[in-house]
Amino acid sequence: MLGNLDNEVIFKKAFTNKIVFTAFVRDILGIEVEVDKIETEKKFVASAHRPKIGYIDFDNYHCGLDIFAETIDRRICIEIQRVEYDSHFDRFLHYFLMLIAEQQKNAKEYNIDQTVYVIVVLTAPYTISEKNGKPVLDEVLLIQLNPQTLKGEIRDLYGHQSGGVPLVCLNPNHPDKDTPKQIRDWLDLIYQSIYNPQRPSLNTDNEGIRKAIELISFENLSPQERAEAKKKEAAKIVLAKTEQHASKKGKQKKK
């Protein structure tokens, strides 16, 4: 039986493992990386020498980066964010821009010397819609950084690979037959850990998937990890009920 990757404790246990992390990055972004330290709840601390970025306090509890790592040569930084709800969809872009803005605190020029990638994993169906009211029902969303010509040709100005796609949003609740298999394998892992944990059908030929399965298998979770995972689940239930109550109260006021 698999632990639920919708749970913060289980998710971090899997994706802070170097084998899982590097395989995931390779399959999602199409790049090979070698990382040293993989951090959780990364925060950029403001001080007299390191001021806040604009008016946004990225050092508070709600703005920690779930999983963060730099390559050994410090040329690439990668962040993986797990999100249950998309009510703060704009926050993903803030995280990405924060990682770029952080480089400017010590830079003499405006060069972006370090390539930044952010992968957002959403574990619930989208509730947002496009500006025209059309619902968002995509399994993979790619946010481009590099400019393109009127003919659609991308100009690689910022050194990003994968066609200049630094920000990727994944949502396994909206399967698409055109999703590449290497990405599909990870989306299946996330989805089945949530909805079919007892009899998952997964690609164990992928070393990263195989290692993740081993790490989050229920029998491999320590008593402390199980207890902490239960606390996180209880907190999610309380938060959901609080938000539901606030929403209902707001609708009653409008009436």
Do residues 169 and 190 make contact, with C-beta atoms less than 8 angstroms apart?
Answer: no
Cα separation values, 6 from 57, 62, 146, Å? 26, 17, 32
CA separation for the pair 146, 140 (Å, rounded): 19
For 9-49, what is each residue's pLDDT tens digit?
999 999 999 999 999 999 999 999 999 899 997 765 554 45
Rounded CA separation 229/232 (Å): 5
Residue 93 lies in a domain: yes
pTM: 0.81
- Predicted confidence at residue 252, as pLDDT, reads 57
Range of the domain at 164: 8-221
Determine, yes or no, domain membership for 90: yes
Asked if the structure places residue 130 within a domain, the reply is yes
Q: What stretch of H or E contains 213?
A: helix 207-216
Q: Which of 85, 136, 89 is nearest to 243 (CA)?
A: 85
**pLDDT digit string (tens) for 103-139?**
666 556 666 667 888 899 998 888 888 888 888 889 9
Domain total for the chain? 1
In a domain, 241, yes or no: no
Q: Is 242 inside a domain boundary?
A: no
Q: Looking at the domain assignment, is residue 230 inside a domain?
A: no
